[in-house]
Amino acid sequence: MAVEKLETKDIAIIDRDLWEKVIAFHGHICPGVTIGYRASLYASKLLGLKFSEDEEVVCISENDACGVDAIQVILGCSAGKGNLLFHLRGKSAYTFYERTGGKSVRLMLNRPSRKMSRQEALKYYHELPDEEMFSAGPARIPLPEPAKNFDSYVCEECGELTGSNWIRIVNGRKLCMDCAGEYNRFNV
Ligand SMILES: [Zn+2]
Ligand SMILES: [Zn+2]
């Protein structure tokens, strides 16, 4: 299915250079990435954030949708650095933390006031004032500890080196989770 191409030329964009960087990373223009773009800018304003070179800024996203890509580009919260974490609940909500000062905020997207096409939604989410777009509240999850490096062990089944946090002991053998198999007796 061909995805409809969306246009931004009639849209007031807060920081077009930054928006272009987000789109270069994300690959396409969409309302979803706009939500992450606006959340990043609003959180920056509320908490005084700037691009996180290390783990100064932490984001916990409650969805794994398009918006997360904007947060990676704008705030430097990324999967590889360990300062982008997921608490998947299918909600357009993001919690941002500023590690040095200990400030945080949870931004929950407000429900749109009407039914819209994707092009209308794109404009709507770019131009809506911050306070109307998101409900800002306190973080519900405490600030996670910084990313750790773990020792590694060789899986005694497949022979692949595996971080200790991901090793299971099965009949006295150290196994990676793929080789250990599942034990789901408690999922009742
Ligand atoms: Zn998208
Ligand atoms: Zn293995």
Kindly indicate whether the domain formed by 16-137 is annotated with CATH number 2.160.10.10.
no
Ligand 2 (ion): which residues have CB within 5 A? 155, 157-158, 176, 179
Residue 96 in tokens: 């941002």
Between CA 17 and CA 19, with CA 18 as vertex, the angle to 5 degrees is: 90
The total number of residues shown for the chain amounts to 188
Q: Is the pLDDT score of 125 beyond 80? A: yes
| pLDDT score at 34 | 98
The domain ranges of the chain are 16-137, 149-188
79-111 pLDDT per residue, tens: 999 999 999 999 999 999 999 999 999 999 999
Say if residue 14's pLDDT is above 90.
yes
CATH 1.10.3470 fits 149-188, yes or no: no
Is the entire prediction scored with pTM above 0.75? Answer: yes
Percentage, residues of the chain above pLDDT 90: 87
CA of 79 to the centre of ligand 2 (A): 23
The ligand placed nearest to the CA atom of residue 66 is 1
**Using the 8-state DSSP alphabet, how is residue 21 labeled?**
H
**Contact of 59 with 106, CB cutoff 8 Å:** no
Going from the Cα of 187 to the center of ligand 1, the distance in angstroms, rounded, reads 34
Residue 65, both tokens: 């949708």
- The reported pLDDT for the residue numbered 182 is 81
User: What spacing in Å lies between the alpha carbon of 28 and ligand 1's midpoint?
Assistant: 6
CA distance 169 to 146: 26
Q: How far is the CA of 147 from the centre of ligand 1 (A)?
A: 28
Reported as a single tens digit per residue, the pLDDT across 166-186 is 999 999 999 999 999 887 777
Q: Phi-psi category of 33—alpha, beta or left, where left has phi over 0 and alpha has psi -120 to 50? A: alpha
pLDDT digits (tens, 9 = 90+) for 25-60: 999 999 999 999 999 999 999 999 999 999 999 999
Backbone angles phi, psi at 170, to 5 degrees: -125, 120
Provide the pLDDT confidence category of residue 120 given band limits of 50, 70 and 90. very high
Question: In whole angstroms, what is the distance from residue 68 CA to residue 30 CA?
Answer: 12
d(CA 86, ligand 2 centre) in Å? 25
Number of other residues whose CB lies within 10 A of the CB of residue 19? 22
pLDDT of residue 145: 86
Instruction: Check residue 1 and give its pLDDT.
Output: 53
R_g of the chain computed on alpha carbons: 20
* Contact of 82 with 59, CB cutoff 8 Å: no
Share of the chain above pLDDT 70, in %: 98
The whole-chain average pLDDT of the chain stands at: 94
Runs of H (alpha helix) within the chain: 16-26, 31-47, 67-75, 118-127, 130-133, 177-180
Listed residue (21, 34, 29) closest to 134, CA to CA: 34
What was the pLDDT predicted at 2? 60
